[in-house]
Amino acid sequence: FEAIKSSEVLVNAFDRYRPLFFPRTGTPHPSAVNAGLVVDIRDTTAELALGVNENYTLDANIDGTAVITAETVWGALRGLETLSQLIRFNFTTGQYSISGLPLHIEDGPRFPHRGLLIDSGRHFEPIAQVKSLLDSMQYAKLNVLHWHLTEDQSFPIASRSFPELPQKGAYSDQEQYTWREISDVVQYARERGIRVIPEFDMPGHTSAWRNSHPELFAEGCLSAESRGAFDPANPGTFAFLLAALQDWTTDMFTDDFLHLGSDEVPSNCWNNTKDLAWMKSQGLANFSEVFDYFVNHMVSMAKKLGKQTILWDEAFMSAKPPK
Active site residue 314: no
| Residue 172, C-beta contacts closer than 8 angstroms, at least 6 positions apart | none
| Residue 289, C-beta contacts closer than 8 angstroms, at least 6 positions apart | 279
SS3 197: strand
Strand partners, 88: 97
CB 287 within 8 A of CB 318: no
**Helical H segments across 22-117, by residue range:** 73-86
Report the Cα 312 to chain-centroid distance in Å.
16
**Helix or strand holding residue 271 (H, E):** none
Strand partners, 70: 41, 56
CA dist 73 → 9, 39, 41, 103 (Å): 7, 9, 6, 21
Q: Which position among 47, 106, 215, 264 bears the catalytic label?
A: 264
Phi/psi for 287 (5° steps) reads -70, -25
CB 59 within 8 A of CB 38: no
* Residues annotated as part of the active site: 264
